[in-house]
C-alpha cells in the first residue's frame, strides 16, 4: 500500500490516481492523521503531498511526532513532494527558506549520471521538463542527503537519503506537464521501493463481493435507491452479485426526469442487469408539492423531503411483504466524497458555506438507522466505470453524463409546474443530446443539457408574429464538476440544432447558448 498524507495540494487526488494507474493501491488520508491511523494501514511507502503552506507559517500542518522513527523502524520509504519535501528537509535538520525567485510552471531539470532513486537508466544524463509550483526552497540539506537533480536555474529539484529511505521532489511528477513524471513514479515505487503492481479491478470486485457476503447475514435484506446514474447502478449490480434477490431496489419517477428516462433506465435495470427494481411513480406527489414554488433552495428541500417519504413508504411495504425490516442500505459513495468530507486542516476547504444543497437520492434516510454498504468508497469515477464494465453494465450507460438528483427542477427556472415548461424542456433537451450523439461529440463533453427560462420573447415563424419561450443550451467540459469550461461547438452544429429545435418544439422561438464557465457560474442554473 502506498499511503498519501494530504497537506492540501490541489494535486493530491492526482497522485492517488496516478499510482493506481500503475496497478498499485494508494489511499489518501489527512496529513495530520495520528501515528496510529498511519501504522494501522501498514504502508510500504508514505508520500507527503504538496500544499499551500510555508513550513515556517504558524500552524503549518505536519506529520505526527514519532513518524520519522516509525518509518525508519519499519523500513517504510518516505517521499515528499513540494511542501512534503520541505517538511522532510526541515524536520530532519536542514534549512528551508523563501527562494530568491519563486518557481511556477514548466522548468527544465538535468538528471546527472549515476544510480538514482527516481530515474531509471533511460533518464540518466538527460533533461526533463517538470512542473514546479513553490515559493520556498531547500537551501541546506539535512546530513546524509544528496541533491539528485537541479533545475537549469540551479535550484534543488530532487533529493535522497538512500540508507534512511527518505526522498524528495521539489516538482510535481503527478501532473502531465512533468513529461516523464509517470516513469519517475514507476521507477521509484516498483524498482526502488519494491512495491508490486498487482492491484486489479477484477480482484477489487471479487474482494468486495466476499466482504458483502460476510457482512449481510443469510436472512437479512438490503435496500438501494437507484437514480439511473452510474454510481448507484454499479453499486447495486455489485451487491446483487453478492446477495442476489435479497437486494431490493427502488427507482422513483419524480416527474422531473428527462425524455423517456423512466422507460430507458428501467429497461436497462431489468433486461440488461436483471436487477430487482420497483418503480414508483410519484410524479403527481412531487409536482403538487412544487406547485407555485420559485425559490431554488426551497425546491431542492421539497424534493429531498418527498424522496424520504417515498423511501420510507418503500421500506414499509417491503417490511410487510418480507415480515422483517431491511437492515442495510447501499450507497454509491465514491472516494472523492470520502476524502472531501474530511478536508486537511488549513487547506481552506470547508463545507460550511452552502452554495447549493446537493441532494443525492442514496444519501438521505439517516433516521432509518440502516447500516451502510458503500462498495465503491475507495474508487474514483473512472475506476467505477471499469468495474461497471467487468459487471457488464452497458457501455452506453457507463458513459452517461451526470444528472442532478433534483432533475429538471433545477433546469426549469422558477415554478416547474407552470404551463408545459417540463414538456418543452424534455423535447429541447432530447433534440440537443441526440444531435450531440449524432455528431460524435457526446464522449468529449462532460455534461450537456437544456434550460427553460420563464420568459417569452417576440419572434416570427411562418409569417406569423409569435410570443414564445426562450431556452438555453449548456455544454461543458470538466474533470469533476468543481470547475468547468463551456464547450465550443462549431457553427454548423449550432445552426442545425437551433433550427431543429425551433421547427420541432412548439412554444419555442429563441435558443441561446450559455458560454459561462464555473466559476463564476455554476453548472446548473439553480
Ligand atoms: P453545480 O450546479 O453545483 O453542479 O455547479 C456541479 C455538478 O453537480 C451536479 N448537481 C447535482 N448532483 N444532486 C446531484 O446529485 C444535486 O442536487 C445536484 N446539483 C447539481 C450538476 O449536474 C453538475 O454535474
DSSP assignment of 224-279: EEE-SSHHHHHHHHHHHHHHGGGEEEEEEE-S---TTHHHHHHHIIIIIT---EEE
Q: Do both 41 and 138 map to the same domain?
A: yes
Residue carrying the nine cell digits 423517456: 260
**Residue 218 and residue 167 share a domain:** no
Whether residue 228 is found in the same domain as residue 288 = yes
Which residue out of 257, 305, 404, 519 has the highest number of ligand 1 atoms within 8 Å of its CB and is therefore the one to mutate?
404
On whether both 371 and 247 belong to a single domain, the answer is: yes
345 pLDDT above the threshold of 60 = no
Boundary of a domain, candidates 333, 364, 398: 398
Give the number of domains in the chain: 3
pLDDT at residue 519 greater than cutoff 70? yes
Does residue 354 register a pLDDT over 80?
A: no
pLDDT of residue 412: 98
Q: Which of 353, 486, 523 to mutate to test the pocket of ligand 1 (most atoms within 8 A of CB)?
A: 523
CATH at 455: 3.30.300.10
* Helical packing angle, 421-438 and 491-504, nearest 10°: 140
Residue 343 confidence (pLDDT)? 52
- Clarify whether residues 266 and 315 are in a common domain: yes
Q: Which of 174, 306, 524, 526 is catalytic?
A: 174
Q: Which of 450, 484, 486, 447 is nearest to 470 (CA)?
A: 450
Structural domain contains residue 236: yes
Q: For residues 90 and 138, what is the distance between their CA atoms, to the nearest angstrom?
A: 8
Per-residue pLDDT at 351 exceeds 60: no
Lowest mean pLDDT among 112-121, 172-181, 187-196, 390-399: 112-121
Shared domain for 224 and 326, answered yes or no, is: yes
Cross-strand bridge partners of residue 140: 95
120 vs 522 pLDDT, higher one: 522
Q: If you average pLDDT over every residue of the chain, what do you get?
A: 91
pLDDT over 70 (residue 362): no
Counts for the chain of helices (H) and strands (E), in that order: 15, 18
The finding on whether 51 has its CB within 6 A of some atom of ligand 1 is no
Does the pLDDT value for residue 365 go beyond 70? no
Ligand 1 mean position to 209 CA, how many Å? 30
- Pairwise CA distance, residues 82 & 87, whole Å: 9
Q: In the numeric block, which cell numbers belong to residue 371? A: 447500516
Three-state SS at 76: coil
Residue 106: inside a domain, yes or no? yes
Residues 174 and 292 in one domain: no
pLDDT at 99 over 90: no
Domain closes at, from 171, 192, 213:
192
Question: Is 158 in a helix, a strand, or coil?
Answer: strand
Q: Please check whether residues 123 and 182 belong to one and the same domain.
A: yes
Ligand 1 nearest atom to the CA of residue 402, by list position = 24
Q: Provide the pLDDT for residue 45.
A: 98
Average pLDDT rounded to a whole number, residues 210-232: 95
* Domain annotation covers residue 519: no
Q: Is 317 a catalytic residue?
A: no
Q: Determine if ligand 1 sits within 6 Å of the CB of residue 481.
A: yes
Query: Does residue 303 surpass a pLDDT of 60?
Result: yes
412 inside domain: no
pTM for the whole structure: 0.81
Question: Is residue 32 domain-resident?
Answer: yes
User: What is the pLDDT confidence band of residue 352, given thresholds at 50, 70 and 90?
Assistant: very low
Residue 232, in any domain of the structure = yes
Radius of gyration for the chain, computed over Cα atoms and rounded to the nearest angstrom: 27
Residue-level pLDDT at 363: 47
187 and 317 inside one domain: no
| Segment 258-299, tens digit of pLDDT | 999 999 999 999 999 999 999 999 999 999 999 999 999 999
- For the CA of 521, the closest atom of ligand 1 is 5
Cβ count near 381 (within 10 Å): 16
Residues 171 and 31 in one domain: yes
Q: What is the pLDDT of residue 182?
A: 95
- Residue 85, CB half-sphere, CA atoms under 13 Å: how many? 28
333 C-beta closer than 6 A to ligand 1: no
Active site (annotated) includes residue 174: yes
Note the pLDDT of residue 349: 43
| Residue 133 backbone dihedrals phi, psi, to 5 degrees | -160, 80
Does the Cβ of 301 fall within 6 Å of ligand 1? no
pLDDT of residue 300: 94
Domain of 130 in residue numbering reads as 2-192
Alpha-carbon distance 35 to 502, whole Å?
63
Residue 458, pLDDT score? 97
Tell me the CATH number at 322.
3.40.50.620
For 72, the grid coordinates are: 525508519
Q: What is the mean pLDDT of residues 214-227?
A: 95
Q: What's the rounded Cα separation, in Å, for the pair 421 and 427?
A: 10
What CATH number is given to the structural domain containing 125? 3.40.50.880
Ligand 1 pocket check: which of 401, 481, 483 to mutate, most ligand atoms within 8 Å of Cβ?
Answer: 481
Is 436 within a domain? yes
> Of the ranges 94-108, 257-271, 295-309, 375-389, which one carries the lowest mean pLDDT score?
94-108
Residues 52, 59: Cα–Cα separation, whole Å: 12
Q: Does one domain contain both 329 and 427?
A: no
Q: Pick from 368, 398, 428: which residue ends a domain?
A: 398
Report the pLDDT value the prediction gives residue 494, as an integer from 0 to 100. Answer: 98
**Is the residue at 413 inside a domain?**
no
Is the sign of the CA dihedral 427, 429, 430, 436 positive or negative? Answer: positive
For position 136, what pLDDT does the model report? 83
Say whether both 235 and 379 belong to one domain. yes
Length, in residues, of the chain: 526
Amino acid at each position: 500500500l502506498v499511503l498519501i498524507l494530504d497537506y492540501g495540494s490541489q494535486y493530491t487526488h492526482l497522485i492517488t490516481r496516478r499510482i493506481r494507474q500503475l496497478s498499485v493501491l494508494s489511499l489518501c488520508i489527512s496529513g495530520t492523521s495520528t501515528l496510529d491511523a498511519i501504522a494501522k494501514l501498514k504502508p510500504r511507502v508514505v508520500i507527503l503531498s504538496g500544499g499551500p503552506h510555508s513550513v515556517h507559517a504558524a500552524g503549518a500542518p505536519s506529520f505526527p511526532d514519532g513518524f520519522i522513527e516509525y518509518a525508519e523502524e519499519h523500513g517504510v520509504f518516505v517521499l515528499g513532494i513540494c511542501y512534503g519535501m520541505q517538511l522532510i528537509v526541515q524536520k530532519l535538520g536542514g534549512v528551508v527558506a523563501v527562494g530568491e525567485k519563486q518557481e511556477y510552471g514548466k522548468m527544465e531539470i538535468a538528471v546527472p549520471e549515476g544510480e538514482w532513486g527516481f530515474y531509471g537508466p533511460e533518464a540518466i544524463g538527460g533533461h526533463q521538463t517538470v512542473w514546479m509550483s513553490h515559493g520556498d526552497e531547500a537551501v541546506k540539506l539535512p546530513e546524509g542527503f544528496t541533491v539528485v537533480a537541479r533545475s537549469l536555474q540551479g535550484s534543488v529539484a530532487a533529493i535522497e537519503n538512500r540508507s534512511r529511505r527518505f526522498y524528495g521532489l521539489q516538482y510535481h511528477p503527478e501532473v502531465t506537464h512533468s513529461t516523464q513524471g509517470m516513469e519517475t513514479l514507476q521507477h521509484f515505487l516498483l524498482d526502488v521501493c519494491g512495491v508490486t503492481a498487482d492491484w486489479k479491478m477484477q480482484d477489487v470486485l471479487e474482494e468486495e463481493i466476499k466482504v458483502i457476503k460476510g457482512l449481510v447475514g443469510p436472512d437479512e435484506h438490503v435496500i438501494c435507491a437507484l437514480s439511473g446514474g452510474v454510481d448507484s447502478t454499479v453499486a447495486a449490480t455489485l451487491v446483487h452479485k453478492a446477495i442476489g434477490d435479497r437486494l431490493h431496489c427502488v427507482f422513483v419517477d419524480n416527474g422531473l426526469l428527462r425524455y423517456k428516462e423512466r422507460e430507458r433506465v428501467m429497461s436497462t435495470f431489468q433486461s440488461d442487469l436483471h436487477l430487482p427494481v420497483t418503480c414508483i411513480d410519484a410524479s403527481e406527489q412531487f409536482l403538487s408539492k412544487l406547485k407555485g414554488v420559485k425559490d431554488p433552495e426551497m425546491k431542492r428541500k421539497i424534493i429531498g423531503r418527498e424522496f424520504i417519504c417515498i423511501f420510507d413508504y418503500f421500506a414499509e411495504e417491503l417490511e410487510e411483504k418480507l415480515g422483517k425490516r431491511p437492515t442495510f442500505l447501499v450507497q454509491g459513495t465514491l472516494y472523492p466524497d470520502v476524502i472531501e468530507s474530511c478536508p486537511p486542516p488549513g487547506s481552506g476547504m470547508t463545507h460550511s458555506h452552502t452554495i447549493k444543497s446537493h441532494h443525492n437520492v442514496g444519501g438521505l434516510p439517516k433516521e432509518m438507522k440502516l447500516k451502510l454498504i458503500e462498495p465503491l468508497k475507495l474508487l474514483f469515477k473512472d475506476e467505477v466505470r471499469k468495474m461497471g464494465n467487468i459487471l457488464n453494465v452497458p457501455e452506453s450507460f457507463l458513459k452517461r453524463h451526470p444528472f442532478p438528483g433534483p432533475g429538471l427542477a433545477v433546469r426549469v427556472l422558477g415554478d416547474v409546474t407552470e404551463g408545459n415548461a417540463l414538456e418543452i424542456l424534455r423535447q429541447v433537451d432530447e433534440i440537443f443530446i441526440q444531435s450531440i450523439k449524432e455528431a460524435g461529440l457526446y464522449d468529449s463533453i462532460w455534461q450537456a443539457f437544456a434550460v427553460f427560462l420563464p420568459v417569452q420573447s417576440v419572434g416570427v415563424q411562418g409569417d406569423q408574429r409569435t410570443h414564445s419561450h426562450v431556452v438555453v443550451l449548456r455544454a461543458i467540459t470538466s474533470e469533476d464538476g468543481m470547475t468547468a469550461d463551456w464547450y465550443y461547438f462549431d457553427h454548423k452544429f449550432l445552426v442545425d440544432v437551433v433550427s431543429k429545435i425551433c421547427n420541432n418544439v412548439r412554444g419555442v422561438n429563441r435558443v441561446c447558448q450559455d458560454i459561462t464557465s464555473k466559476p463564476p457560474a455554476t453548472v446548473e442554473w439553480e
